[in-house]
Amino acid sequence: MRVLIAVNQQRRVHEHQPGRAVDGELVTPVLLECTQPERCRCNRSWAGLSTVGFSALAEVAERPNLDRVELRRALHGLLDEVGWIDEMMQAIEADDSDDADDPVWATERMIDDHLVQIEEICSTFPVGTVLSRLGDLVAPTVESRAA
């Protein structure tokens, strides 16, 4: 299965740094951005599914031992850990949600949205491509070299 993994910009730092995804960790584009993305940079980040840390870069990778069910489980874990599922359930209970009346359906839809984004990105770029993003725009990074 093709997935997105975090890329440490220096590729030398492998220990976990708080707030940062670990090199090689599964990541997803951040689909729910805050109201001030220029401040927190959520519109440029990839969210780590294990550490809930962020990475500025992601790489398309092949993970043959990973299947869609496991990726769904990891996405659910991320959404639960950062509180999106609780917030969505509270909005549904308060009748403030435009999307759904069923929190299970709404959660599954949110996970599906992430899976679609990951699959779309992975089918657009070859394995090994390092990517950056700005909102919905995803593009390969260009390595700068000294003259």
Return per-residue pLDDT of the chain as tens, 147 residues: 999 999 976 554 445 444 688 999 999 997 766 566 566 666 788 999 998 888 989 999 999 999 999 999 999 999 899 888 888 778 777 775 555 677 788 889 989 999 999 999 999 999 999 999 888 899 999 765 555
> Residue 65's Cα: distance from chain center in Å?
19
**54-55 and 46-48 as β-strands: parallel, antiparallel, unpaired?**
antiparallel
* φ and ψ at residue 91, rounded to 5 degrees: -65, -40
Torsion angle, alpha carbons of 19, 23, 27, 32, to 10: 30
Answer left, alpha or beta for residue 41, where phi above 0 means left and psi between -120 and 50 means alpha: left
Instruction: Please report, for the chain, how many H helices and E strands are present, in that order.
Output: 4, 7
Cα gap 47→56, rounded to integer Å = 9
pLDDT for residue 16: 46
Cα gap 40→69, rounded to integer Å = 31
pLDDT for residue 14: 46
Cα gap 85→77, rounded to integer Å = 10
pLDDT for residue 35: 63
Cα gap 58→8, rounded to integer Å = 9
Instruction: Give pTM, 2 decimals.
Output: 0.82
